[in-house]
């Protein structure tokens, strides 16, 4: 999974494997356990969206529409 926390940051981070880049999201880590679960889920959704965009660019639209 490409979603993680950094000790010096208050935001969730994502690691995009194909680009080998770590990117800070603008999604703050929640204070309570419930807030953390919700904000992590938002960060995971962003991660999947970015990975999907990379796959679409890499493979081309015609391959993904089959």
Q: Could you tell me which residue, 66 or 26, shows the higher pLDDT?
A: 26
pLDDT at 1 over 70: no
Looking at the structure of the chain, the number of domains it has is: 1
What predicted TM-score, i.e. pTM, was given to this entire model?
Answer: 0.79
The owner of tokens 């690691």 is: 15
List Cα–Cα distances, 12 to 16, 21, 62, 65, 66, in angstroms.
13, 14, 33, 31, 34
Q: What is the pLDDT of residues 22-52, one digit of tens each?
A: 999 999 999 999 999 999 999 999 999 998 8
Task: Give just the sign of the alpha carbon dihedral 49, 50, 53, 59.
Answer: negative
Whether the CB-CB separation of 1 and 17 falls below 8 Å is answered with no
Domain assignment of residue 59, given as a range: 3-64
Instruction: Give the residue, 63 or 7, on which the prediction is more confident.
Output: 7
Q: Which residues pair with 3 in a beta bridge?
A: 14
Distance between CA atoms of residues 14 and 21, nearest Å: 8
């Amino acid at each position: 999974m490409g979603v993680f926390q950094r000790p010096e940051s208050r935001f969730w981070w994502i690691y995009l494997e194909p680009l080998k880049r770590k990117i800070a999201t603008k999604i703050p880590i929640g204070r309570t356990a419930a807030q953390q679960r919700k904000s992590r889920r938002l960060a995971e959704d962003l991660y999947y969206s970015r990975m999907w965009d990379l796959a679409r660019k890499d493979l081309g639209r015609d391959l993904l529409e089959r």
